[in-house]
Amino acid sequence: MKTAEATATSAGEVHAVVEVREKGSLDRATIVRTGLRLLDEVGIDGLSTRRLATELGIKSASLYWHFKDKDELLNEMSTVMLRECLHLGNANEPGFDALDWLADSARAIRSTALSRRDGAQVMARPLLKPPNTKTPLDDNRKALMRLGLTEMEARLAMHTIRRFAIGAAIQEQSSPPVPGTCTAAEGFEFGLKTFMDGLKVLIASRAHK
């Protein structure tokens, strides 16, 4: 006796649980969310507009009413993933340490990227223009500036950290673990610590000026 894993409707097709929805109820957020779920199942190469449309219960042509093209969709997925890993603590909290926050945000970016199949490749894409994530990032940048960094240095430090974390995750997801070396996580921590040490050198040089 076969126990079907499928849903209520008895017949036919096994995989691809199709979403049921009424006419006007499909928006960009739903498409992006479904895209991210599908990414985990099929990977970046399997994530076609046709497959995604099937998953959403529509035809692929319909996607082009919501998005200009596939690139725009992927960029929005990238933006959502970055937003996912910014719930980290705000500069206004009591025991806030800007350097700890910076290192932790690097770890969060890496693990968010690693949390889904080909996640790093998605996060390496450009972000959409207006991330409303502006506010917490602004606060944290100011916290870095209070340590003695210029505005541009603070901006660059955050930028570099993000770049390093995504670069590391890309390599981890695309290459087999390098033989004769430690684990990927340890390698990441080495790079992160070294960068943070360099940043402390810069801060120290600002302090006694």
Partner DNA sequence: ACCTGAACACCGTTCAAGT
**Chain positions contacting DNA, by CB under 7 A:** 23-26, 46-51, 53, 57-62, 64-66, 69-71
Show the tokens assigned to 7: 């849903």
- Positive or negative, the Cα torsion across 77, 78, 79, 84? positive
**Which of 7, 10, 132, 175 touches a copy of itself (CB under 8 A)?**
175
- Comparing CB distances to a copy of itself, the nearer of 66 and 162 is 162
- Minimum Å distance from CB 48 to DNA? 3
Amino acid at 47: L
Instruction: Give me the phi and psi of 29, to 5 degrees please.
Output: -60, -40
**Which of 180, 207, 208, 209 touches a copy of itself (CB under 8 A)?**
180
Binding mask 68-107 for a copy of itself (x = CB under 8 A): ----------------------------------------
- Comparing CB distances to a copy of itself, the nearer of 46 and 126 is 126
- Comparing CB distances to DNA, the nearer of 53 and 127 is 53
How far CA 49 is from CA of 20, 44, 92, 119, 182, in Å, comes to 18, 11, 42, 18, 39
Give the side-chain half-sphere CA count within 13 A for 101.
Answer: 24
Show the tokens assigned to 120: 């790093």
Q: Say which entry of a copy of itself, DNA, none residue 177 contacts (CB below 5 to 8 A, set by partner kind).
A: none
b vs e for 159-197, b when ≥16 Cβ sit within 10 Å of the residue's Cβ? eebbebbbebbbebbeeeeeeeeeebeebbeeebeebbe
Q: Which stretch binds a copy of itself (CB under 8 A): 21-29, 55-63, 111-119, 198-206?
A: 198-206
Amino acid at 78: S
Angle (CA) 115 118 124, round 5°: 100
Q: Say which entry of DNA, a copy of itself, none residue 49 contacts (CB below 5 to 8 A, set by partner kind).
A: DNA
Binding mask 121-140 for a copy of itself (x = CB under 8 A): ---xxxx-------------
Show the tokens assigned to 118: 């080909």
Q: Which residues lie near a copy of itself (CB under 8 A)? A: 124-127, 152-153, 155-157, 159-160, 163-164, 166-168, 170-171, 174-176, 178, 180-182, 187, 190-191, 193-202
